[in-house]
Amino acid sequence: MPRNTGTAAQSPPENRTPDSPRPPHGYRAVFAVREFRAVFAAHLLSLLGVVVSELALTVLVYGLTGSPLLSALTFALGFLPYLVGGTLLAGIADRYPARRVLVTCDLVCAACVAVMVLPGTPVGGLLALRCLVAAVSPVFTGTRMAALTEILGDGDRYVLGRSLLRIVSQSAVLIGFGAGGMLLAVVTPRGAITITAVTFLCSAALLRFGTRARPARAGAGAEAGGGTLLKESLTGARDLLGNRRIRALLLLFWVPSLFLVAPVALAAPYADEIGVGSAALGLLMCAMPVGRIAAELYVGTALSPRLRSSIVLPAAALQLLPLVLYALRPAVAPAAVVLALAGVGGAYVIGLDKWFVAAVPDSLRGRAMTVLTAGMMTLQGVGMALAGLAAEFFPAHHVVAGAGALGVLCLLPLVREARRTAPAGHDPAETRDEVPPGTRETAATEVRDGAVTELRDGARTEVRDEADHHMTSG
């Protein structure tokens, strides 16, 4: 449909003057949304709770059993149940209102952690509770990701909001374990776990009172019993993976996760291989998250939505290439640079987020985000296990270099598939800044030749085709 060239659509809103302050852009525009601030704070609290509880629970199990195997299993259980929860429980994200799901997940986690604190809880019970928390996590994360499209819209604000949450997640890896270690120096493991229960409760309160109630995306019929939860979850996963476009985008998220964990999983063996101490080990562990955080901040603030979208496929194809340099068995400083470069390449997901949310129907968004999260976490666990297994037979630097080379070979056909499945006549770099749906009632709407132009706070969003417009509730 041709663009509207009418003069009314060309002029700014009447309540704007040339001297009026410009509306916030970039990350500031995201933080200007009150509901997002509540979601952001809740994410920070619950994430710190998860990181500290993982560390404290691992120490607690080791103290009770003296078994390194059970201690390591406690940490590994943070990955394994993602596949079960993300596949069998994904329907929850669309079947029930988002706020109810998010608050309930936080309360379930708080209850599990509270039982962990009880002195009489056996080790088997601790591991079972750890599994339950991990199974709930993909439902919580998927529901929150889908809810962001209702809070921020599905345009550039959503992309930057997702970027901010990822930055927090990367930062929590760096800060959380350090904070947890210092916390365990002054309180017992059960005391640290008690503190994490409080963080889950605070997160639940922020989500309950800081976000609006919206109906379920799947409609009232699903909640009333239009189908079993298991059937809806499996059907949703089948529909997502059966769509060529969505499947290609999911794999562009998932496949790098399988290979990027190799240098992290083998950081200790590699440090031992090149004869360096624990301080160098910490540098190797931190390099990739630092590169990722710096790149996300730069891409989110310095690049336009079109440029962010244009770098998706090249960066996805080349992200793992720096790991091939591990074949040279670099010293600590060059190895840290290699890992930081691999982290920088991960910033392509900012543009990929926009493509994914545009490809998934609104009624499947909760399940799509849950499956996305479950796949990434599961493949991280699988990648760690495979890297460790390979390191039993080959030097650590050869395993990391091989992971980089194999990852590039796997990503090249996925990049080609993503390009082939792009909608006909659609420019994937084209993205528009959107105003959160909660302000729709204040919009001034003009209709010209079938195109709808909405003017909100000086921002104009053109909706050309009802098939391309995902309606959000509330």
Each residue's pLDDT tens digit, 81-136: 766 766 677 677 777 888 898 999 889 988 988 888 888 888 888 888 888 888 88
**pLDDT given for residue 474 in this prediction:** 34
**Lowest mean pLDDT, pick from 211-225, 317-331, 350-364, 368-382:** 211-225
Q: What is the mean pLDDT of residues 145-170?
A: 81
**pLDDT given for residue 24 in this prediction:** 60
- Residue 14: pLDDT band by 50, 70, 90 thresholds? very low
**pLDDT given for residue 22 in this prediction:** 57
Tokens 């706020």 label which residue?
99
- Residue 178: pLDDT band by 50, 70, 90 thresholds? low
> In the numeric block, which tokens belong to residue 353?
């987020």
Task: Give the tens place of pLDDT for each residue, 222-246.
Answer: 444 445 767 777 777 788 888 889 9
**pLDDT given for residue 437 in this prediction:** 46
C-alpha 242, offset from chain centre: 22
- Residue 459: pLDDT band by 50, 70, 90 thresholds? very low
